[in-house]
Each structure stands twice: as C-alpha cells, then as structure tokens.
Homo-oligomer: A and B are copies of this chain.
Amino acid sequence: MKPYEGYMLDLDGTVYRGKEPIPEAIAFIHQLKEAGLPYLFITNNSSATPEEVSLKLQAFNVPAEPAQIWTTALAAAAYVKAGPAPHTAYIIGETGLLQAMEEAGVEYTEENPAYVVMGIDRSITYEKLAKAALAVRNGAAFISTNSDKALPTERGFLPGNGALTSVVQTATGQDPVFIGKPEQVIIEQALYILGTPLEKTVLIGDNYDTDILAGIRTGMDTIHVQTGITSLEEIEQKPVLPSYSIQSMADWTLMKNSGEKSSKK
C-alpha cells in the first residue's frame, strides 16, 4: 500500500450500486478529504452534469464538489476543444453532454459540422442517427463519449452508448474516437486536473474492462474493488492484473507520504 498522492475513483459499483451507497468506499473518501489528498470521480456517464452527480454523491454523504467530477461529457468537450478548429459539432446526447459542449465553447450545428459527438440519448430518433451518419460520411470527425455496450438498470441491461454508437459506425464504416474508460483520453485529462504525478496516482474501480484497463493503459497503479461488476475470479483470469484487488475500501489503509508533503489540489 503505497502512499499515493492523488486518487481517481469510479462511481457505479465503486462508490454506490445504483441507489445503494457502498459505506466502505464512502468512509475511505472521508479519510481522503481529512488527509487533504486530492481525489477526482471519473465516470463514463455523459448524461448527467457535474452538479447533478455531486448532488447525488452528497445525498450519499460523499464529500464531492462539482469540480471533483470528471464525466465523459466534460472529457469529450475538452477533447473537441483541444482539436483543430472550427469547433462546431452535431451532438447526440442528454443534458450533461449538451451543457458540457456549450460551456466548452463548442458550437452546436446540424449543417456541415466539423465534429459529430455521440453520448447516450434515451430520446434517440432515426433522424438524429441519420444526421450523424451523413455528417460522418461528409468528413466530420467522429467522437463517442464511451463504448459501454449495456447499462445496468433496475429493468436489466439496456443499450449503452456503445450500442447506439454502433448504428453510425455500421452505417458509415467509420470507427469513432472513444473518450471514456478504458481509453486513456479521459484518464490523462484527469491526471492533469489532479496535478499529481502518474506514478503517485492510483485509480480505484470495480470494472476490469473499463476502470482497471484504463489505468493499466495509462501506466498507473490500480485498485480493483470487489464491490461491483468484476469478481476476483474474473480478475485472476486476466493477462494483466490490477496492482491490488480488495474486497472493499475497508481493506485499504490510507498511508501518507512521510518524507514529503502530499501535493494538494
């Protein structure tokens, strides 16, 4: 257990399960806050705004300001804004994505956009998919917030953004740039925001195929918690293991670097 200086935490399966908080994780986040260690919540969810996510977390008694939430919506907006101008985009998505794009200064347009950005949209229509397909065939850069195939809900697994994105992918023959975990884009942005060095930052998550893989690809240490999707048995089958796999964050003793001061956000 190394004295990490920066912490990235996944949300669903790590801090809560649907509408149920995970007390061990919440206690650990309070320790982080008390120790003055910087932490950031990283979520593949693009539908909610940071304000909405922070309110949900606060309702679970998790200390979380909007500035500590990094969604794929914010990540996709930052990615487009960092790309070549003009920053015009045809956007399929919900409030979180539309707001993130607007706040980043990306102009929404249906006419000849430079980018097509897709996030989960539970009001998807054929016309929206058609516009996206035409724009991508017309040369727009194709961005998708995340490749999640299915969304766990109370009704069962519903189509995720990766499934909706596959319509435009199949219709155009073009693969999008995915921004969310397990891609590195969102993690590299998060490292920059945390301001801690790669080797002193750790990523905590329950899902090997998104969270842990994103950390491994970025070259970070990772903590797998057995509170969500991926079981310990499944972890043991993987060719590259997380740095740690623990039952819950109650099994983690927070160590502070004794030799030097922890960096602060």
* A155 contacts chain B at the CB level, 8 A cutoff: yes
Residue of B nearest to A134 (CB): B156
**Contact yes or no, B155 A171, CB < 8 A:** no
Q: A124-B126, A126-B122 are in contact. Are A158 and B133 (CB under 8 A)?
A: yes
Chain B residues within an 8 Å CB radius of A170: 149, 159, 162-163, 166
- Please give the count of copies of this chain that the complex contains: 2
Residue of B nearest to A121 (CB): B126
* A26 contacts chain B at the CB level, 8 A cutoff: no
* A104 contacts chain B at the CB level, 8 A cutoff: no
Residue of B nearest to A160 (CB): B171
**Contact yes or no, A133 B121, CB < 8 A:** no
- Size bracket of the A interface: 20 to 34
* A67 contacts chain B at the CB level, 8 A cutoff: no
Chain B residues within an 8 Å CB radius of A134: 155-158
CB of A205 to closest CB in B, whole Å: 22
* A250 contacts chain B at the CB level, 8 A cutoff: no
Contact of A167 among B122, B130, B163, B172 (CB under 8 A): B163
Residue of B nearest to A151 (CB): B171
* A83 contacts chain B at the CB level, 8 A cutoff: no
Contact of A171 among B122, B138, B163 (CB under 8 A): B163
Contact of A156 among B122, B124, B137, B160 (CB under 8 A): B137
